[in-house]
Amino acid sequence: MVQKADVVVIGGGIMGCAIAYGLKKKGVGRVTVVERRGIGEETSSACDGGVNLQTKAPGPALKLAKRSVELYQTLSQELDYDVHFEKYGGMVMVDSPELMGVVEHSVAEQTAAGVDVTILSGDEARRMEPCLSKRITAVTYCPDDGRVSPIHTTIGYAKAAGRAGVEFLLNTAVTGVTVEGGQVTGVETTRGPIRAEVVVNACGVYAPEIGRMVGLDIPILPRKGNIVVTEQVAPCVEHNLICARYIALKHDPDLAKTSSDPSMRLGVNLFLEQTHDGNIIFGSNREWSGYDKSTSYEILCAICSYAASLVPFLSELNIIRTFAGLRPYCEGGPILGPVDGIHGFVMAAGHEGDGIAMAPITGEIMSDYIISQTVTEDIRPFLFSRFSQQKG
Ligand SMILES: Cc1cc2nc3c(=O)[nH]c(=O)nc-3n(C[C@H](O)[C@H](O)[C@H](O)COP(=O)(O)OP(=O)(O)OC[C@H]3O[C@@H](n4cnc5c(N)ncnc54)[C@H](O)[C@@H]3O)c2cc1C
């Protein structure tokens, strides 16, 4: 029998689950999530949980990030599931004079955009965060940065959506999207067809596969990052610790090519947090290796020695796990909203290294769009049509 839904969401990562929850919360009748693996088994469980404001470039993305942080404050209550959100504040650590200029510029931009961020001396920072190395000459401190458990958030959204009546088809792959006369009519799956006039592509790094099913060339690329997890220890790192390189490389990846530092050339940077359970989780790097999720010994060694140079007590801890995840990179930020010429085909993918932070607001604005069919100022900067405008 052919199934029917009002909306089919393809992908059960953090984006698909947040959008499905938002749709059901706002009263949409039949919502079905089709996920080819299990909930959150791709990038949404192979990442850090930073919910940072000071790493976002000022502009539309920062505006959404601020609203996402607000939504995170009450998310555990709303979902009736502990997503482990904690607003401990974040520090961007400066360990070389040439990076001071980068962070001063970033702080000026962030302050102008209304983010509460200040520069502290190395000694002031060490009084707040004693684990920092003497090498650190300054930090930028943002009290509104926070962290969350990515997998708890994804599962929390899925459970709340399920309780509200969203149907989840797991271990079920979408193999085709059907379109008649420019209108989406449904999807083909490994368990048969589902008829629906709205189909959401929330497939992260795999969004281009779904795009090809409707003749679209979606410019999202997998950008790998290696991560290290230590044994659990008593609370000893209060803030999210980010190296200034992270900011520099995120905004200008070409710096890696020109640097004389071998670890910088590998794209290695530091983002470190202590999880709710006491593990220290740190990484990472940015590399293009297609869809290969294997870790690299060379890169993991470079990450560990760079991390221990900034946070020396790490060298005394045991590593219990390493893994790599694929960030869904898209130039200019995620692709959100409708696609010209394919009515009912909706994009919600390409959040690169910010998808955990941006999930609550994405769930809100995408469900609003699907219900109202109105492109608001929130999603206008992220439309797929920006790529055809660039070409023209
Ligand atoms: C190393 C690393 C560190 C990161 N750190 C942070 C951080 O600190 N803060 C932050 O905000 N973000 C961070 N991110 C980014 C964040 O993890 C991602 O942006 C986010 O998880 C993307 O979620 P998603 O739902 O779009 O994709 P995914 O979680 O990948 O979900 C997409 C889903 O679609 C499914 N799918 C694909 N094809 C099909 C098909 N044909 N049929 C059915 N289902 C399909 C997949 O199985 C998958 O479950 C990090 C990422 C990495 C890799």
Return the CATH number at 307.
3.30.9.10
DSSP letter at 203 equals -
> Are residues 317 and 203 located together in one domain of the fold?
no
CA-nearest residue, atom 9 of ligand 1: 50
Query: What domain range is 253 assigned to?
Result: 90-143+222-329
365 CB near ligand 1 (under 6 Å): no
272 and 200 in a common domain: no
Q: Please report where in the chains the tokens 């969004």 appear, as a residue.
A: 207
- Are 277 and 211 in the same domain? no
Predicted confidence at residue 392, as pLDDT, reads 45
State whether 345 and 382 are in the same domain. Answer: yes
| Secondary structure string (H, E, C) spanning 160-196 | HHHHHCCEEECCCCEEEEEEECCEEEEEEECCEEEEC
> Could you tell me the distance, in angstroms and rounded to a whole number, from the CA of residue 323 to the centre of ligand 1?
14
Is residue 320 located within the same domain as residue 355? no
**Statement to judge: residues 174 and 312 lie in one domain:** no
Confidence of residue 390 (pLDDT cuts 50, 70, 90): low
Higher pLDDT, 287 or 98: 287
Q: Is the CB of 48 under 6 A from ligand 1?
A: yes
Share of the chain above pLDDT 90, in %: 89
Atom of ligand 1 lying closest to residue 284 CA: 1
Whether 319 contacts 334, CB under 8 Å = no
Question: In CATH, what number is assigned to the domain containing residue 370?
Answer: 3.50.50.60
Tell me the pLDDT band of 101, cut-offs 50, 70 and 90. Answer: confident
User: 137: buried, middle or exposed (CB in 10 Å: 19+, 13-18, 0-12)?
Assistant: middle
Q: Is the Cβ atom of 154 under 6 angstroms away from ligand 1?
A: no
Name the pTM for this structure: 0.97
Under DSSP, is residue 321 helix (H, G, I), strand (E, B) or coil? strand
Helix axes 150-164, 355-372, angle to 10 degrees: 30
Residues 244, 117 share a domain:
yes
The residue-averaged pLDDT of 281-294 equals 95
pLDDT at 1: 62
By CB neighbour count within 10 A (0-12 exposed, 13-18 middle, 19+ buried), where does 84 fall? middle
Distance 207 CA to ligand 1 centre (A): 10
Higher per-residue confidence, 333 vs 252: 333
Q: Are residues 168 and 311 in the same domain?
A: no
Query: Whose C-alpha lies nearest to ligand 1, atom 26?
Result: 204
| Lowest-pLDDT range of 113-122, 263-272, 308-317 | 263-272
Protein residue with its CA nearest to atom 32 in ligand 1:
203
Mean pLDDT, the chain, whole residue set = 95
**309 within some domain:** yes
Q: Is residue 70 part of a domain?
A: no
Nearest to 277 by CA among 330, 338, 233: 233
Beta-bridged to residue 94, according to DSSP, are 138
DSSP state of 23: H
The answer to whether the CB of 37 is under 6 A from ligand 1 is yes
| 386, part of any domain | yes
Indicate whether residue 10 lines ligand 1 (CB < 6 A). Answer: yes
> In angstroms, what is the span from residue 180 Cα to ligand 1's centroid?
30
The percentage of the chain sitting over the pLDDT mark of 70, rounded to a whole number, equals 98
Q: Which atom of ligand 1 is nearest to the CA of 49?
A: 8
Q: Of 310, 329, 348, which residue sits at a domain end?
A: 329
pLDDT tens per residue across span 67-81: 999 999 999 999 999
**Are 126 and 250 members of one domain?**
yes
Which pLDDT does position 245 carry in this prediction? Answer: 87
pLDDT score at 98: 81
pLDDT-based confidence at residue 262 (cuts at 50, 70, 90):
confident
Give the phi and the psi of residue 251 in degrees, each rounded to 5.
Answer: -90, -20
Q: Of 329, 360, 376, which residue constitutes the final position of a domain? A: 329
Residue of 356, 361, 366 with the most ligand 1 atoms within 8 Å of its CB, for mutation: 356
Kindly state if the Cβ of 90 falls inside 6 Å of ligand 1. Answer: no
Write out the DSSP string of 30-94: -EEEE-SSSTT-SGGGSS--EE-STTSPTTHHHHHHHHHHHHHHTHHHHHTS----B---EEEEE
Nearest to 37 by CA among 125, 169, 218: 169
Domain match, 115 and 17 both? no
